[in-house]
């Protein structure tokens, strides 16, 4: 599939627009149009329903070590700045960027790609930011221009190796920047914090600086105790949240894949340390299955376990669910979701002060003065399993938990195994990236007969029915003989059940095409026979099969087909 075709369909049919387009757009920001908003809502609703509302808390699902509970949160975007100091984002959440002294543009170091080439006794590294399919053409055009050669003399360019990224090049003086005409215009890579800064209140001093959240996860950690204290929830359980996150990406690109404002769908799953690795495996597989159930089956989707040397030592596993987006070079995949075993790193950091991720066992990171570099909340974020304590206390011959802790005061965790800091499994997904993957996967072109029976190429978005923005379209075959009135009544009856659309404009074949192009799974047509026997035809978007059904049976016929 060519990406330009999808991008143009998204604009033409109202899935996605560039933000502030009438002012020339704003890089890294996107608006969802009338159909896009329905699609993305359906993605988020399917996630929330499958992970939270429809989760059966009484039965252990296949592959899970036990039954578990799920609940949700909706936290504020701006939080106490200390949250980001203790989470590590303040110090560590950065990318490397390079600036071009000639073009005044800024690039993410690892996203600049190029190729070594030699001509006229000079060997240089020509770079580009063009998309994968245009990369080589762009590099060649730049190299020809640099060496002052015509296209017909392209054979004078001697290529050395394939296309590689800028961090793989050690001689900056030979680099021709993506938008530069001369060599050696790129600065050394510099760290750049990705958090957007903002100011709280009217005074606006340094102490009023706050950040737009770069992830939704921290809101869950800092509310862990609130959720425990306000519900009767017991470990193992998960807290889900969907919401906006902001990252000041240096080079936002690839449509919505890397945006500066985007939405995340995250779960923090709290469990006992002893079973955490089993829970990690469960969530990794459960999340992978969700994408395949929603239609991303096939070799473009893959689960990639990180190698042990990529893991932080407190984690026993991290996996990425990745999709081979069509704008990526052949064989490359882009992350849709990361599933990480995070141990007790986050809860302890918010409790004791930011931990040093390199220490083993984990210890609070100290500043130059020997005190914690970033102080934690000092609040107790441990979990007390009173069911197990009640079960065991008589066996232990103790009256109170205090006595137990006193007895074990020299142990590393005197309250264990009854009181402990839970381990966390974090499935962290992007709603926009998932929506983009569903758009890419759905795009298809096939042949279908037009109204005269002639085969024509048709564009069809093969969305899973749960994700399709419009579930069914209702048409009168012609605009006469009472058909529009009956069709309008069918539309009204269906509208309270599903998102349906009424259309009487143009030839019926054209109306089918318009619905195929936006992925409507069913088209319902009122025709001459409807007037005699109150049946309508239903047409399936994918198989093009048609069947007749009584108007009164439509809802029950469609319902199971839409789940």
> Where on the chain is the footprint of ligand ATP (CB under 6 A)?
215, 247, 249, 258-259, 262, 264, 335-338, 428-430, 432-433
- Residue closer to ligand ATP (CB basis): 264 or 281: 264
Rounded to a whole number of angstroms, the minimum distance from the CB of residue 214 to ligand ATP is 8
- Give least dist CB 430 to ligand ATP, A: 2
Looking at beta carbons only, is 38 or 249 nearer to ligand ATP?
249
Shortest distance, position 259 Cβ to ligand ATP, whole Å? 4
Given a contact cutoff of 8 angstroms between Cβ atoms, the answer to whether 435 and 464 are in contact is no
Count Cβ neighbours within 10 Å for each residue of 212-238 and write b for 16 or more, e otherwise. bbbbbbbbbbbbbbebbeeeebebbbb
What is the phi-psi region of residue 296: left when phi exceeds 0, alpha when psi lies from -120 to 50, beta otherwise?
Answer: alpha
Q: How far is the CB of 284 from ligand ATP (least distance, A)?
A: 14
* DSSP string for 213-225: -S-SHHHHHHTHH
Indicate the residue among 258 and 541 with the shorter CB distance to ligand ATP. Answer: 258
- Alpha helix (H) ranges present in 292-413? 345-352, 386-396, 401-407
| 433 or 539: CB nearest ligand ATP | 433
Element (H, E) at 429: strand 423-430
Q: How far is CA 13 from CA 21, 25, 44, 327, 439, in A?
A: 16, 19, 21, 21, 13
Structure tokens given for 395? 């066996």
Q: What is the C-alpha to C-alpha distance for residues 89 and 110, in angstroms, rounded to an integer?
A: 20
Closest-approach residue to ligand ATP (CB): 430
Q: Give me 510's structure tokens.
A: 């054209």
To the nearest whole angstrom, how small is the minimum distance from the Cβ of residue 216 to ligand ATP? 9
Task: For residue 460, give Cα distances in angstroms to 41, 205, 255, 501.
Answer: 21, 54, 20, 17
Q: How far apart are CA 335 and CA 555, in angstroms?
A: 38
| Nearer to ligand ATP (CB atom), residue 178 or residue 338 | 338
**Which residue number, 262 or 325, has a Cβ lying nearer to ligand ATP?**
262
Judged by CB, which is closer to ligand ATP: 108, or 541?
108
Q: Give least dist CB 373 to ligand ATP, A.
A: 22
Nearest residue (CB) to ligand ATP, 310 versus 545: 310
Which tokens is 417 given? 């195994």
Q: Cα–Cα distance between 334 and 321 in angstroms, integer?
A: 8
Q: In 10 A of CB 114, how many CB atoms?
A: 26
Min. distance of Cβ 283 from ligand ATP in angstroms? 14
Q: How far is the CB of 247 from ligand ATP (least distance, A)?
A: 5
């Amino acid at each position: 599939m060519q990406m330009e075709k999808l991008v143009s369909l998204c604009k033409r049919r109202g899935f996605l627009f560039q933000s502030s387009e009438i002012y020339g757009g704003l890089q890294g920001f996107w608006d969802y149009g009338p159909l896009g908003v329905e699609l993305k809502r359906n993605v988020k609703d399917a996630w929330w329903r499958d992970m939270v509302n429809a989760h059966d808390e009484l039965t252990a699902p296949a592959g899970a070590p036990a039954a578990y509970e799920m609940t949700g949160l909706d936290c504020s975007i701006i939080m106490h700045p200390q949250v980001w100091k203790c989470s590590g984002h303040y110090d560590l959440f950065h990318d490397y960027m390079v600036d071009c002294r000639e073009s005044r543009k800024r690039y993410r170091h690892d996203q600049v790609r190029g190729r070594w080439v030699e001509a006229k006794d000079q060997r240089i590294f020509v770079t580009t930011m063009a998309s994968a399919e245009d990369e080589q053409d762009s590099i060649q055009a730049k190299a020809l221009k640099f060496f002052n050669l015509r296209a017909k003399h392209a054979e004078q360019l001697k290529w050395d190796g394939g296309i590689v990224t800028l961090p793989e090049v050690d001689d900056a003086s030979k680099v021709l920047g993506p938008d530069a005409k001369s060599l050696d215009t790129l600065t050394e890579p510099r760290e750049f914090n990705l958090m957007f800064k903002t100011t709280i209140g009217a005074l606006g001093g340094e102490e009023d600086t706050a950040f737009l959240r770069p992830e939704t996860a921290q809101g869950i950690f800092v509310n862990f105790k609130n959720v425990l204290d306000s519900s009767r929830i017991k470990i193992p359980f998960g807290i889900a949240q969907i919401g906006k996150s902001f990252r000041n990406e240096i080079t936002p690109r690839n449509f919505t894949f890397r945006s500066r404002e985007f939405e995340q769908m995250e779960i923090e799953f709290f469990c006992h340390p002893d079973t955490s690795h089993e829970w990690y495996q469960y969530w990794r597989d459960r999340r992978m299955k969700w994408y395949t159930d929603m239609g991303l089956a096939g070799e473009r989707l893959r689960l990639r376990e990180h190698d042990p040397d990529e893991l932080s030592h407190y984690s026993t596993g991290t996996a990425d669910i990745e999709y081979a987006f069509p704008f990526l070079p052949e064989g490359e995949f882009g992350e849709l979701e990361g599933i990480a075993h995070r141990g007790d790193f986050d809860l302890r950091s918010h409790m004791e002060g930011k931990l040093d991720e390199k220490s083993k066992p984990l210890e609070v990171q100290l500043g130059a003065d020997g005190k914690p570099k970033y102080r934690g909340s000092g609040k107790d974020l441990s979990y007390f399993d009173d069911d197990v304590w009640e079960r065991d206390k008589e066996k232990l011959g103790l009256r109170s938990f205090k006595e137990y802790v006193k007895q074990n005061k020299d142990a590393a965790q005197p309250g264990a195994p009854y009181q402990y800091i839970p381990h966390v499994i974090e499935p962290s997904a992007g709603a926009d990236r998932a929506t983009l993957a569903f758009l890419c996967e759905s795009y298809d072109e096939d042949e279908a007969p037009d109204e005269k029976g002639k085969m024509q190429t048709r564009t069809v978005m093969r969305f899973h029915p749960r994700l399709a923005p419009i579930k069914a379209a209702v048409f009168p075959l012609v605009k006469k003989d009472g058909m529009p009135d009956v069709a309008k009544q069918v539309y009204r009856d269906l509208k309270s059940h599903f998102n349906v659309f009424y259309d009487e404009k143009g030839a019926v074949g054209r109306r089918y095409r318009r619905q195929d192009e936006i992925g409507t799974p069913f088209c319902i047509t009122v025709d001459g026979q409807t007037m005699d026997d109150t049946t309508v035809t239903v047409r399936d978007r994918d198989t093009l099969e048609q069947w007749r059904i009584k108007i009164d049976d439509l809802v029950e016929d469609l319902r199971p087909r839409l789940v």
